[in-house]
Structures are given as structure tokens and as C-alpha cells.
Structure 1
Amino acid sequence: MSVSPAPQQDVDIDLGRLLKAVWERRVLVGGLTAAAAGLAFVATGMISPLYKSEARLLIETREPVYTSEQAAQNANAALDERAVTSQVEILQSTDLLKNVARELDLSGRTEFDPAANPSAIGDLMVMLGLKKNPLDVPAEERVLKQVKKKLEVYAVPGSRVIGIEFSSRDPALAAQVTNALVDAYLASQSEAKRENNTDASAWLEPEIARLREKVRESEAKVAEYRSQKGLLLVNQQDTIAAKQLADISTELSRVRAERADSEARAQSVRNALKNGQAVDAVSDVLSSPVVQRLRESEGNIRAQIADLSTTLLDAHPRMKGLRAQLSDVEAQLVSEIRKVLSSLEGNARVAQLREEELVGQLNALKAGSGREGEEAVELRSLEREAAAQRDLLETYLSRYREAASRTEPKALPADARLISGAVAASESYYPKTVPIIIVAALATFLLSAIGVMLAELFSGRALRPSSGLIRDPAEMRDGAVDEEPAKPAAPAETVAERPTLAAPVIANDADDFSVEAVADQLISARTPVAVCVSPEGDEGSAAAVMLARTVAGEGLQTLLIDLSGSGCPSELMAESMRLPGLTDLMCGHISIAESIHPDRLSPAHVIPHGNANARRAMRAVDRLPMVIAALTEAYDLVIVECGAADAASVARIARTEGAEVVLSVLHSEEDEVARYLVDFNAQGFEGVLLMTPVEPAGPAGHRRSVA
């Protein structure tokens, strides 16, 4: 059952009465709305119209046509979002706006210098010291201030386009100022480029002269060092010694090849003679003219012998003469072959001698190459220095030529292009008469209607009593609601003298007041706070612990606050009695989060009794309802175990709307339970839930409802 302080009649707001009150005063509301619309119309008619003109610039790098493509690409890559934002700030710069104001003589217009013709009220305020004299500010600064108010420069999101808007009473002047600002900006950009170009040319001239001298000195050092060390070049990169070394190596390879070839051919002739083989297959023998003639003679003689052998015997003188000639030719042929062999061997010996000579020259050059290598290192260092100076000079010369070609203003276009010029507006942009009238009328209608409703509420005519309900004790467990209206609580009295107190209700089921039944009732009713009172001490407090663990076992976030004097719940749930808890929190020693600890046997949490001085903590007990209200934001159910507390003490903390009071009794008699209920009824509580973990000594299962 709901727990609340002393009974108080609830009221509801009668929305129908509020709407009816507005309708009854429709003439007043309509009149105010019409008056506001009329005033808005007159006010907008008195305001001088303002005209706005707009121009747009595209920020891009504009280089002359003769600029290298790579340079143009690098410049365009540098135009990021910050670069565009920087150009927006430049367009609003003071120097640029001053130039435009001077060019168009804006100081001579009243619109841009209203302080030049002050009103009588303004002069009076200046005389009384309520306002600073605007004439003390220079006219140029006053004009500049007005120009900045009327100027709006912005970057179009997602692009490199900048919009420039200027408003004025004169549409032609608005367009003129916008275009003049664009022209001044483009001219300033070109002038800035020209100044940079001039500064670069002035700086490059002496640098180029200095670099030329350094290049000449560096190249002279290279030539002098080559001459001193004999590192003269025969081509673009080879020195004389290196060239000689390469030529000797090539010649040595050729001589070694010739020697090997001569030795191989001589060996082939020698093997043929030694083994008695025909030497006709040897190319050197066949190429000898003498050998060829001898072979021809040998062939002729053998042919004659063959012809004559058919008619003559071997002992014939002619046959003997031919055979003698054949032997002589064969001896000459062998002799000639030996001469060829001697020639080949001689060629091999000559090649060997030439090889030895070349090897000696090569070793001599190699011995000098080490010294030349060390000298070449120094030479390359001098050449690198000369090349670096030469490259830098070429770069400076290229930059100087490029800068010299941009001496004309037209050769240096601004890094922006006008894509939309400003034109005089045909319609004013301010004031917007129709929207202003509509807004003024709608606001007045709403305010007047709200005023009528508030007057109706404050008068009480729009309030009606709410239909209070009394829940039957047996139906509370099932979420049912009694249809009879609630009755005010009766004053404290004895059980025998309570004529308006209903007789104790005896439940049919013995488990109606068990811990599980009370847990089901709290869960079904979605009770935020349950205040447990245990007149019998620690036994009842243990039942409150069982209740917290039962609700937590159903999956609800449950917290038990130990407000008992004995600290029994803390001993049953906390890991240690030394943990900081409620008394520490009330004394301000810890925060709420530091006072909460997990139950050692269930998912529930507990705020234990604590270790601070209990008397000092009780001085701040009035803060406890606020702490409980804060905890209900984080927990589904907050159980406050008060121990053997009386109804008056419970009334100090049970202020949370929708709270339930649970009376935990085990051995109390019916009359004693009834007395407890009367005490709570006297404190203004509408009802109390009974919880009996075990069968009581008196009539079992009593549950009382105080109407």
C-alpha cells in the first residue's frame, strides 16, 4: 500500500475548464492579437528598408601561362580550407575597408555616420553622463564600424567560393560598395604578389653574383687539383691512368688468348707427328704453300707409280727412280711440317713474353691505383662542391628570369576570380512585413491564452478533486483496486475503542504473509521504496535481508539500507563490519557510491551500518529521504530496515511517493499487531504490509489494512 505523510486531498487540472475560459475571453484574446498585428504592421512601415547585394569570388591560384605546370599544381594543392578562411578574414580587414570607404566617400552619408547628426535625446544623455559622446571617436572609425555591421563575408561550405554581402538603404550603393570591395581585394592581392616578386628580384641579384664567383672558384680548384695530381681525363669520366689500366687489361687478355691458341695448335701438330697420324687435318699445315706443293708432287709421283706398276716390275730402274723421288718428297714434307711446328712454338713463346711484359705493366699501374684512388676521393669532393654551387646558381638564375618576366602588373593576377558581380537589389530584404506580423500575432495570442489559463488556475476554478481510491488488502497482492473512496485516518486510540477500524482480516492461505508473497507484492506494484519495521529486533531484521535477497533473485536491482541499531543486516550481508556505511555517509565522510557494497550471498547491494559516530549521524537524518530518492534512480527497489522503530520515526524518512511500509513480525499477538497498525495509522500512513517469515504465535496470517 502507498505510504505518504498526513492525508491530503489530491486535485486534478480541468483541461476543459481551461479551454472554456479561453473561449469565454476570446474577445480579449482576439483584440490583443489584432492589436499586436497592427502594431507590428505600423512598426515595420516605420523602419527604413534595407537592400542587400552579393558578389562571389572563387579562390584559386592564377599563374601566368609560362609558369611551369608543376608549380601551378603545387600552388593549387596549398589552397585548403584554412587558406579560404584566411581570405575571408582579409576581405574583412580594416585597411581594405578603409580604402573602400575613402574611395566611395562613405563618411559623407548619414547612414554610415549617424553620430554626425545626434538627436536631442542623445545630447541629453551625453550631458547627463549616461552615454559617451560619439563625436569623441574619429569619423573614420565610426564609418568603419558601420561598414563592418553591414558587411558579411562567408565561405561557402564544401567549396573555395567566398560570398560577400553588403546591406544599405540605397540598393545602388549596396552593389557599389560590394563591387568596390572586390576590386580593392583583387588589386591588393596583385600588389602583394608584385611586391613579393620585386623583393625576390632584389634579393636574387647579389646572390647570383656571389654564386657565380663561388662556382668559378670551385671549378678552378677542381682543375688545379687534377693538374697537380695528374688526374687528367681522356673522356668525360676516365683519367689517363684508368684508361691505361683498362687498355693493358684488354691487351693482356688478347695476348693470353693468342698464346693459348698457338700452344694448342703446336700441341696438335706435335701429337700428330709423335703418333704417326696424318697432319692434313691441322689447319696450320694445310695453310702452308710449301706443304701444299709437296702434297701435289707426292700425289703425282704416286699416280705415276700406280700407272707403271701395271707394265713394269719393282726392280725396273724407272720404278726405282719414282720411289726414290717419293721418299725425297715425303722427307721434305716432314721437314716442312716440323718448320710449321717450330713457327707455332715460336709464336707461343713470343706471346708468353708479351704476356709477361703486360703483366709487369699491369702490376705497376695497380700499385699506383691506390694512391690515385685516395686522390680521386678528394677530387670527387671538390667536384661535388662545384656541382652543388652550379646547380644552385642555375636555380637562382631560373627564378630570377621568371621574376624579371613579371614586372608588369597584369603578369601577376590575383589568386581569386570574380564569378558573380553585385547588382542593385529590386526588393528589400528587411523588414519582412508579413512574417513579422504573423510572428507578433501568434506570440500575442499564445501569451494572452496562457495568461487566461494561469488566472483560471490561480483562482482555483480549473481545479477539481481527484477520485481517491482504497485498495483492499487481499487485492493489493494481485494489483487490484477497490472502488470505494479513501477515508481520512482516525486518531490514535486503543483497539477496543476503534469504531472506524475494520476488524483484522484473516487470510485463507497461510503463505499470504511470507517473504515470497511480500516480494511478489512489491515487484508487481513496482514499489520504489520499502520501509521495514521489526518490533522484535534482529529476527525481523533477518527477514528484511531475506526479502532483499528474494527480490534480487528475481532480477531486480535491489539495495538494503541498514538503519537498525544492532547492525544485524550489515553482519548478514557485508563482507566486514568495518566497511564504511550509512553513519559515515550522514557525517559527510564518504560519498553515496563509496557507501554501497555487494551482498556476499546474492546480487543485492547493501549500505551497512557504518563506523562513524551514530549520534552525530542522527543529526543529519533529515537528509536521508533525499539520499533514498537519489538511490531510487539507480535501483528498482530500495529497502530501508529500521529495526524496532516507532511510527513517528518512520514518518521522518518515509516521504518517497509510492513507498510501502512492511511490518515484520514473528511471534506477536493479534492485539499487539493491531496496536502497531493503529500507531502507523495515526501518523497518516494509508496501509501497512505484514510479513511473517514463520507462523506467528497468535492467529496465523493476519494482514491489516487501515482505511
Structure 2
Amino acid sequence: MRGGFPPGGGAAATWVADSELDLGALSQALWRHKWRILIPTIAAAVGAFVVVNTLTTRYASDARVLIDVRENVFLRPEAERTTPERTAFDEQAIASQIQIFLSRDLAREVITKLKLGDRPEFDPMLKGLSPTSRVLAFLGLAKDPLKMSAEERVLQSYYDGLTVFSVDKSRVIEVSFQSTDSDLAAKVANAVADGYLALQQQAKQDQARSASQWLSGEIETLRKRVADAEARAAEFRSRANLFVNTNNASLANQQLTDLNAQLATARTQKADAEARSRLIRNILTSGRPIEAGDAIDSELIRRLSEQRVTLMAQLAEQSATLLGGHPRIRELRAQLADLNQEIRNEAERRVRALENESRIAGARVESLSTSLDQLKRLAGSSNELDVQMRALEREAKAQRDLLESYLAKYREAAARDSISAAPADARIISRATVSNVPVFPKRVPMILVATMLTLMLGIGFVATRELLSPQNVRPVGRELGSSLAAPAALPGRTSRSSVRVADGGSSAPVPVGAIEELARALRQAGEVGRRVTVLGAARNVGTSFAAIMLARALARDARVVLIDLALGAPNLAVISTDPNAPGIVELVAGSATVTDVITRDQMSSVHVIAAGQGVKTPASVLNSSRLATTIEALARSYDHVIMDGGALPEIAAERFAELSQTGVLVVVDPSHRGAISACQRLQAVGFAEVTMLVANGSTG
């Protein structure tokens, strides 16, 4: 761990490991033993060169096949033309196609076509076994060619050189073949791809031929069944007199339908006549004036009503100037009474006519009902025969539909019984070409790997010896120039406010132990130790330095933010990775956000919030409600919030007691009256915990 310089000046605090490897001694050791490294390295390079030049050169050629549905809409079966094209191939489907590439049937076709069995490369027995092969076979490390048939030997050599795999995230299958003959490697790869397409086409053709043969036999049987079913239906219809009309309905059902329609019409007419006659009679009985309308559909009443309206208008006009006994008035009233009587007489005649229509319609309803009942009884007797007839017709129709379906499928299968009509669901997108670049052995990479591996092993061997040699490791350290003495171990909390004094008492201060013990106590304090204010009993006692070291100690296993609230003499900006960043003053003023003011400590993972620029009235910043809200938000985001409060005589300690629970007081002499009063003041303002750190000098 490293510590920065205190802002107020003072000694640096730097810690290094207890011991480290002397790199100079290691370099000297490597130089002393250089021949132990170089000789094996050169020998490995020469040996690798000799070995790679004695190995048999092999060439590889690749062909690529795209798995795709090549069947267009015109070649697809009729039942599948309305469905979307089948273009989806999952991983299992692609893996299945790879197994077809690796099938023995395809391998035998390629071997026969290219006469691979006549080549010593594929049948080692043609040139005799080498001593190495005999030894490996004897030890069981390789198969004994003498115990294998010629076909098995060729197949084994064929599969040793063949590699088939799918290209990642695609439907492309790559066929690669290795051989000592570059031309043969390309021929075999292309032959495998062509053989795969031929197998696919042959499989589709065999499938179509098998389907057409099966359908042919089924069609002959169905034709006989259809003829028998239709003959039985026609014979039963003739015997039962079940004749049908042009709409394929029986005569009895057609007559029932017609009578029902006529009966409904007659009932409607009767109900209409009765309703209209009842309405007109009610008007006559009540003495209300009769008007021409839907109920009284009479042209005479309509004309008489118009005349009545005219007379009433004349009567109203004359009544305005003449008295009721005037002859003209009496004449108009007499004419009006005559018109009303004529209207009533005509309405009575209309009522009688409607009643006659109602009686006629009722008689018709009775007649139609009688006829309908008779026809129902007649139709009921033929229902059983009709049910049997429909069953025979359904059977005949089912057999006929099945026959037509089989005929359509047979025609499609017969048309597809050819190579051109059954394309393979794949196509070659890249044919193998002859390659002049060998794939094995890779001479330069193999020599480099062997050389570098031997070199690294030699260096590692020498370095390990030096690491295990104690005279090459020396301790490195620097005197710690801190001004803080180590505090005593902090006991557990026994009351709401307690004071703990850490006395230096040593001429050689150990600030690491003091800070570590304080950090350990804060971790164990739980919620009380999460928000801590570091205050100085006076100026230049190392307050900022103590806050920095405490934050760095806590940051080893926790998230810590360090806030500079010593607004009268801010010091923390010098340890920030961005000293010019805005600080707590800009945050409280609203000119910066939280993300703008948070920076990193140069020496640790501590987050730093500096004081900022332009501090005019520190009291207004400390008493701001925005500051309290910010501290609360930071306490929810960080495990510990450390605040540098500055010198106690210059600040309002009450405000810091509201912002934090624990106070750390940095003093020079714990027995001094000022230190005791400062500690009592922190207790009085409400700090839950007060810890006193004793300093041995002035550091700022």
C-alpha cells in the first residue's frame, strides 16, 4: 500500500513488500548460465528442422455444400403449394446431413469411382509395412493391417483424411480431404460432394416411385368400391320412391317448405286485418276524430278529411268577424257535421271489410294447417327410408372423394419420378481446387514453437533456481515519516458517547497499526462506523492526513468516499486524479451533479469529493439541507463516508454531529486542557463515538 503526501506538508508514507527479487541479480544469473539455455534451444531448433523435413507432406482441398430447399412451387405437391417454403434447418438436421457425408455407402462409391484401393496411400499392404508400423501394431498402439480386410484398410485411410463439419451459424457444410497428392485431395472432396447430391436425389426418386406403386394398387381397389356404393344408392332410391328436385331435396320436404311459407303468410294477413279493424273500431267507440292513416287506408276518408280541414279553417276565419248565430256560421257548422258523419260511415264500412278479410284469412289458415298436418304424417313415414338413403350416399361420396385424392397424388408422384423433378435439398457453392500449399507439416511454426518452448523452459529453470536462492532476495523499506501515533485497540461501545484515547508513547510511530486498528474498529461498529468525521484539536495536527489514511485503510475491502468539508483550508484536491474538478461547494450551489464532483484517489480505490472553488461562507455550505441530503445519498451508496472537518476551533461541531455518528479527534497532547475540552465538546454536541488519535508533530 502507498500513502500520499499530507496536504499541509510533512513526510511521505510509503510501504513496500517485506522483500522482493533482485532483478539485477536475476539478470546476472541468466547471463552466467546462458549456455545452459542456448545449447538446448539450438539443439531443439535443429532437431525440429530435421523432423519436419522427414515428415510426409499432405495437402488439403475443401468443398462447400449449402443445405437448402431447391424445390420450387411448381415442382411441389399440390397439397403443399399453399404452405410456406420449407427453409428452416435446425442444428439436428445439419448434424444428420453430416452423417450422410460420413456414411459408408457414400465412402464405397467414392473409393470405387476414384479407385482409391489401388493406391498405396490408402492400402499400406501394397507397399509393405514399415518397421515403425509393425512395432506400433505389436504394442497395440495402432491397428494391425494384417488383421484387417483390404476394404477396411482403405476405409480407415479414407476416413483418416476426410473431415466434414458445419460452418458456424450457417447451413453450409464443408468437406475437407487431406492426401499426399494435391490433385487427388481435390478430386475426393468434389466426389464426396457430388455423391452426397446423388444420394439425396436417388432417395427422393425412390420415395416417389414407391408412393406411385402403392397408390396404383389402392386406386384399383377404390374404383370397385365407388362403383358398388353408387349402385346400391341408386337401387335403394328407385325402390323407395325417394325422388329429389333440382336442389337435391326430396319432394316431401319441398312441399312441407312451401306449405309452411303459405301458412305463415295467411297468419300474417289474418293478424294484420284483425289489428286494423280493432284499432278503427276503438276510434269509433271513443268518438275521437277519424284521420286517414296506415290503419284506415281509404282514399275517400282522405279526401273527406281534407274537406273537413278546409271547412274548419273557414269556420275559424268567419268566427273572428261573425257571431255564433250568424247564418254563415251555422251553415259551416252543418257542413262540418255532415263531413264527420260521412267519415264515420266510411270508417264503419272499412271495419266490416277488414273483419271479412280476417275471417277469410282465418279460414285459409285452418285449411293450410290441415294440409300441413297430413303432409307431415306422410313425410314422417318416409324419414326412415330417407336416413338410409343419406347413409348410402355418404358412403358413396366418401369413397369417391378418396379415389379422387389418390388419383391426384398418383399423378403427382408419377410426374416426380425423375431426377430433374426431384432435386436434392442441397447445392455445391464452392468446389474443391488443387492446393499447392501443404497443410502438414507447418515447418516454420513447428520449428518456432519447439525453439521458443525450449527457450522458455531454460529461462524458467534458471529463474526458479534464483528465486529459491535466499541470497538474491533482500528486504526493502523506508522509514515512515508520519505524525500519527498508533491508537490503542478500541473496545466495544458501552454507552451512547464514549471517548477512546490512543497515546503515542513511542519514539518510532507506527501509523499503519494505528490506522488499521481504527479501521477494524469502524468495521465492527456497524452502522455507527459508516459515517465518520475527522477533526483536529488545532491547526496543523495532521487532520487531512489522518482522514486520507483512514479512508485508504477502509477501502481495501469496502466502498469508501472521502469528502473535504474543511472549507476554510481544503487539502484533499491534491490526491485526486482530477484536482480541478468541481467539489462540494458547486454541488450544494446546484452548478454540478454528484457524478461531476466524484473523482478517484491517485493511490487507492477511494472516491474523493474535494471542497471546490470559490468558498465564501463555509457556514452556509455546511448548514445547507442539500449537503445533508447528499451525505444521506452517499451513505446508501458507499459502505463508509469519511469527512475531513478541519480544525475544531474554526467550525460548528454540532453540524458534523448531525451528519455523522463517529468523531475522530486528532491531538498532539491528549492530557492538554485544550484536547480534553475539545473531546468534551464533541461528546456534548451529540457524537455517538469519539476516538482520539495522538500526533507527534505538526504535519498540517
AA aligned opposite 1:170: D
Alignment pair present for 1:49 and 2:57: yes
* Residue matched to 1:23: 31
User: Counterpart of 2:26 in 1: which secondary structure?
Assistant: helix
1:356 to 1:422, Cα distance in 2 relative to 1, 3 A: same
What does 1:40-439 align with in structure 2 at a 5 Å threshold? Answer: 40-63=48-71, 65-68=74-77, 71=80, 73=83, 76-77=86-87, 79-119=89-129, 121-122=131-132, 125=135, 133-224=144-235, 226-227=237-238, 231-255=242-266, 352-368=362-378, 380-439=390-449
Q: Distance in 1 between matches of 2:204 and 2:372?
A: 65
Kept in 1, the 8 Å contact 2:20–2:475? The answer is yes
Name whichever of 140-149 and 58-67 sits farther off. 58-67
Output the CA distance in 2 between the equivalents of 1:435 and 1:129: 31
The answer to whether the 8 A contact 1:13-1:462 is kept is no
CA distance in 1, matches of 2:220, 2:123: 56
User: 1:451 and 1:344 mapped to 2: Cα distance?
Assistant: 130
Matches within 5 A, 1:307-706: 352-368=362-378, 380-457=390-467, 460=469, 463-464=472-473, 466=475, 477-478=486-487, 524=516, 553-554=525-526
Instruction: Identify if the C-alpha distance between structure 1 residues 61 and 372 changes in structure 2 by more than 3 Å, giving closer, same or farther.
Output: farther
Q: Contact between 2:212 and 2:410, CA under 8 Å: does it hold in 1?
A: yes
**Amino acid in structure 2 at the alignment position of 1:173:** L
Alignment identity in percent?
38
Shift of 1:70: 6.4
Matched to 1:105, the amino acid is K
Is the 2:62–2:189 Cα contact (8 Å) retained in structure 1? yes
Contact 1:14 1:462 in 2 (8 A): no
How far did 1:56 drift? Answer: 1.1
C-alpha displacement at 1:145, in angstroms? 1.1
User: SS state of the match for residue 363, structure 1?
Assistant: helix
Q: Which amino acid aligns with 1:524?
A: E
Change in CA separation of 1:106 and 1:202 when aligned onto 2, cut-off 3 Å: same
Measure, in 1, the Cα distance between the counterparts of 2:299 and 2:38: 141
Give 1:66 shift: 3.6
C-alpha distance 389-453 of structure 1, shift in aligned 2 (>3 A): same
Q: Among residues 26, 38, 44, which one is paired with 2:46 in the alignment?
A: 38
> Structure 1 residues 222 and 449, CA, compared in 2 at 3 Å: closer, same or farther?
same
Once residues 224 and 424 of structure 1 are traced to their aligned partners in structure 2, the CA distance between those partners, rounded to angstroms, is 78
Q: CA deviation at 1:92?
A: 0.7
Q: 2-side partners of 1:348 and 1:362: how far apart?
A: 21
Secondary structure in 2 matching 1:418: strand
Task: Tell me if the contact between 1:17 and 1:462 (Cα under 8 Å) persists in the aligned partners.
Answer: no
Q: State the distance in 2 between where 1:510 and 1:261 align.
A: 117
Aligned pair in 2 of structure 1 residues 155, 550: CA closer, same or farther (>3 Å)? Answer: closer
Residues 555 and 283 of structure 1, relative CA distance in 2, 3 Å threshold: closer
The residue that corresponds to 2:341 in the other structure is none
**Structural RMSD (CA):** 5.0
1:116–1:135 Cα contact (<8 Å) kept = no
Between the aligned partners of 1:173 and 1:414, the Cα distance in structure 2 is 26
How far did 1:173 drift? 0.6
Alpha-carbon separation, structure 2, partners of 1:77 and 1:220: 48
Question: How far apart, CA to CA, are the structure 2 residues paired with 1:184 and 1:20?
Answer: 66
Kept in 1: contact 2:487–2:502 (CA 8 A):
no
Cα separation, 2, equivalents of 1:128 and 1:137: 14
SS of the counterpart of 1:409?
Answer: coil
In 1, distance between residues paired with 2:435 and 2:412?
A: 44
Aligned-pair CA distance for 1:436: 2.0
Residue type matched to 2:57 in 1? P
Give the secondary-structure state (helix, strand or coil) at the position aligned to 1:411: coil
The TM-score, its normalising length taken from structure 1, stands at: 0.52
**Mapped partners of 2:21, 2:298: distance in 1:** 137
Q: Which amino acid is the alignment partner of residue 444 of structure 1?
A: T
Q: How many residues align?
A: 439
Give the direction of change, closer, same or farther, for the CA distance of 1:373–1:80 in structure 2 (3 Å limit): farther
| C-alpha displacement of 1:243 | 0.7
Report which of the two structures shows the higher radius of gyration computed on alpha carbons: 1
Structure 1 residues 397 and 44: alpha-carbon distance in aligned structure 2, compared to 1, 3 A threshold: same
Aligned-partner residue type, residue 417 of structure 2: T
Deviations 1:527-573 (Å, cap 9, x if unpaired)? 99xxxxxxxxxxxxxxxxxxxx99855489xxxxxxxxxxxxxxxxx
* Partner amino acid, structure 2, of 1:32: P
| 2:485–2:503 Cα contact (<8 Å) kept | no
Contact 2:270/2:357 (8 A) holds in 1: yes
Aligned 8 A contact 1:204 1:400 in 2 = yes
Contact 1:172–1:424 at 8 Å: present in 2 too?
yes
Quote how far apart the aligned CAs of 1:139 are: 1.4
What code does the residue aligned with 1:20 have? Q
Structure 1 unpaired stretches of 5+: 1-9, 287-337, 481-507, 514-519, 529-548, 557-707
Distance 2:353 2:134 in 1: 137
Tell me the distance in 1 between the aligned counterparts of 2:279 and 2:472: 140
Matched AA of 1:208:
I
SS in 2 for 1:37: helix
Q: In structure 1, what residue type is equivalent to 2:210? A: D
Post-superposition offset of 1:448: 1.1
> What residue in structure 2 maps to residue 536 of structure 1?
none
The residue type equivalent to 1:409 in the other structure is: I
